[in-house]
Amino acid sequence: MVLPDSSRGADADVLIIGAGPAGLALACAVADAGLSVQLLEQGSLAALEAPAPDGREIALTQRGRRVMQALGLWQHLSPAEVAPLCEARVLDGNSPSLLRFAVQEDGGPPSPLGWLVPNHRIRSAALAAARSRPGVQLACEARVAALALGPDRARVTLADGRRLSAPLVVAADSRLSQTRRMAGIGASVHDFGRSMIVGRVAHEQPHDGIAWECFRYGNSLALLPLNERQASAIVTVSSDLAAQWLALPDEEFAARIELQSGGRLGAMRAVGARHHYPLVGVYAHRFAAPRFALIGDAAVGMHPVTAHGWNFGLYGVEVLARELAAAHSAGRDIGALSTLQAFEHEHRRATLPMYLGTNALVSLFTDERALPKLVRRTVLALAGRVPPFSGLIRSALTRQLTEARDAARTLSPWHRRRGPGFGP
Ligand SMILES: Cc1cc2nc3c(=O)[nH]c(=O)nc-3n(C[C@H](O)[C@H](O)[C@H](O)COP(=O)(O)OP(=O)(O)OC[C@H]3O[C@@H](n4cnc5c(N)ncnc54)[C@H](O)[C@@H]3O)c2cc1C
């Protein structure tokens, strides 16, 4: 793709920095509002066209899926890549009791809590959807090295010296966003000192669409149900142990997961590569400035336990695109702070309580001292009984797979028919 080298007129209505899933989804939404988009991605086109599996199995909420459908991303996913999540169960320490969460629809058939889709498939779907829009231009190997926010235009300079300008620049360049820094926007950073090791396992027994979250002492294990008797095993350990877990032979890794899950899924075998993610939560101090906005992980980088990063990215795309469309059709300036502040307020309201709640709960559930252990036992007991409290706990512990108003903490008819199944 040849980039226009222009310092005269604007190169597009919106410049989006980063062609990850958030940048690509926003490009689709903005193009649908009748605005032209120039995406700038530092990586190669080959990497974008054939993203490598990265071990992330993304749990999508009902709203997340709706936004993906509206933007045409969902339609690019093969059904074989989408696994329904029917129920979530939470175990604490060595306690034999457990919490169960499932959804039932009023009078209707049981509906999944959510869906699991590999991240690299989401990336491919987002690229295909963006490419189907004539209003979206994509430039790869285009790393943004400088940003200047002027009164009428925002200007970016690429590492190779080319310059572009637009009434609005949106940064979608991930949680350690350089562009956010260039815009003078700070962020709260919470380093959990822990890392996630993720890898697929194949298992003997059916998982029945159930996700397990086991807060064992020392480390925690989540098992996410995938298609064809496979699960994604997510082990969270102190970061100094991460290299050790990564280096385990496949047989040893599978044996440890089998043991920690209490043999519920029968014999296990490791499938494919293991991946490692240091856990750092990031929340930008502001999501907008004149001629500038943040989206995706650049705005809110969540701890993955509540499965919100990409879902929040989609919610932000929905709100920002709606505000830009309204401004555009009313002939208002799309880069004006007044346009972007409505997005900022709504996205902050939607994300901040969950960001703070997730961080607090993660800290509690990884604290090995006696008092925190007692508190977490109490928290889980309350989660079962006190409705407003149960909402927060359910959200945080079961990877928040539905919007609050849709969810009901109850055994689904599906579950009642089958009986308790895998109790410890
Ligand atoms: C283990 C794990 C499990 C997860 N599970 C879930 C889940 O179940 N549910 C959920 O909703 N979310 C989940 N997430 C979060 C989700 O993966 C992220 O929120 C999402 O991928 C972020 O997308 P993004 O587009 O904001 O950022 P990225 O995917 O990081 O994309 C950023 C892009 O910007 C480009 N870039 C960076 N700097 C520049 C520059 N200067 N110039 C040009 N381009 C640049 C990069 O090359 C990259 O392509 C999980 C995350 C992890 C780590």
Which tokens is 35 given?
A: 């605005």
**pLDDT at 107 (0 to 100):** 57
Instruction: Please classify residue 47 by burial: count the beta carbons closer than 10 Å to its beta carbon, then call 0-12 exposed, 13-18 middle and 19+ buried.
Output: middle
The torsion defined by the Cα of 388, 393, 398 and 404, in degrees rounded to 10, comes to: 30
Cα-to-centroid distance, 104 and ligand 1 (Å): 31
Pick from 40, 54, 58 the residue to mutate for probing ligand 1's pocket: most ligand atoms within 8 Å of its CB: 58
Per-residue pLDDT, 324: 98
Strand partners, 276: 197
What is the dihedral sign for C-alpha 25, 52, 1, 154? positive
Task: Tell how far the Cα of 172 is from the centroid of ligand 1, in angstroms.
Answer: 8
The Cα–Cα gap between 26 and 314 comes to 8
The protein residue with its alpha carbon nearest to ligand 1, atom 1, reads: 56
Packed helices 387-397 and 337-365: angle between N→C axes, nearest 10 degrees = 90
Q: Is the CB of 58 under 6 A from ligand 1?
A: yes
Q: What is the pLDDT of residue 422?
A: 26
| Euclidean distance between CA atoms 216 and 235, whole angstroms | 10
Q: Quote the pLDDT of residue 415.
A: 26
What atom in ligand 1 is closest to the CA of residue 43? 47
Task: Report the distance separating Cα 353 and Cα 406, nearest Å.
Answer: 18
**Measured from the CB, is residue 21 less than 6 Å from ligand 1?**
yes
- CA 131 to centroid of ligand 1, rounded, Å: 19
Q: Rounded to two decimals, what is the model's pTM?
A: 0.88
C-alpha torsion sign, points 290, 294, 298, 299: positive
- Please give the chain's pLDDT, 424 residues, in tens: 445 544 457 899 999 999 999 999 999 999 999 999 999 999 999 999 999 999 999 999 889 999 999 999 999 999 999 999 988 887 766 665 566 766 645 456 667 888 999 999 999 999 999 999 999 999 999 999 999 999 999 999 999 999 999 999 999 999 999 999 999 999 999 999 999 999 999 999 999 999 988 876 567 889 999 998 999 999 999 999 999 999 999 999 999 999 988 888 999 999 999 999 999 999 999 999 999 999 999 999 998 887 789 999 999 999 999 999 999 999 999 999 999 999 999 999 999 998 998 888 777 766 666 666 666 666 666 666 655 555 555 555 554 444 433 333 322 222 222 222 222 2
- Residue nearest atom 14 in ligand 1 by C-alpha distance: 309
Tokens of 233: 């095993």
Q: Best of 38, 42, 320 to mutate for ligand 1, by most ligand atoms within 8 A of CB?
A: 42
Q: Which atom of ligand 1 is nearest to the CA of 196?
A: 1
Cα 105 to Cα 36: distance, rounded to the nearest angstrom? 40
Q: Which atom of ligand 1 is found nearest the CA of 198?
A: 1
The domains located in the chain, with CATH, are 14-74+118-189+281-356 (3.50.50.60)
| CA 120 to centroid of ligand 1, rounded, Å | 11
**From the CB of residue 1, how many other CB atoms can be counted at a distance below 10 Å?**
11
User: Could you tell me if the CB of 56 is within 6 A of ligand 1?
Assistant: yes
Secondary structure (H, E, C), the chain: CCCCCCCCCCCCCEEEECCCHHHHHHHHHHHHCCCCEEEECCCCHHHHHCCCCCCCEEEECHHHHHHHHHCCCHHHCCHHHCEEECEEEEEECCCCCEEEEECCCCCCCCCCCEEEEEHHHHHHHHHHHHHCCCCEEEECCCCEEEEEECCCCEEEEECCCCEEEECEEEECCCCCCHHHHHCCCCEEEEEEEEEEEEEEEEECCCCCCEEEEEECCCCEEEEEEECCCEEEEEEEEEHHHHHHHHHCCHHHHHHHHHHHCCCCCCCEEEEEEEEEEEEEEEEECCCEECCEEECHHHCEECCHHHCCHHHHHHHHHHHHHHHHHHHHHCCCCCCCHHHHHHHHHHHHHHHHHHHHHHHHHHHHHCCCCHHHHHHHHHHHHHHHHCHHHHHHHHHHHCCCCCCCCCCCCECCHHHHHHCCCCCC
- The pLDDT value recorded for residue 182 is 98
Structure confidence at residue 414 (pLDDT): 23
The CA 107 to ligand 1 mean position distance, Å, reads 38
Which of 15, 48, 56 to probe ligand 1 with, by most ligand atoms within 8 A of CB?
A: 56
Ligand 1 pocket test target in 40, 66, 119, 179 with most atoms within 8 Å of CB: 119
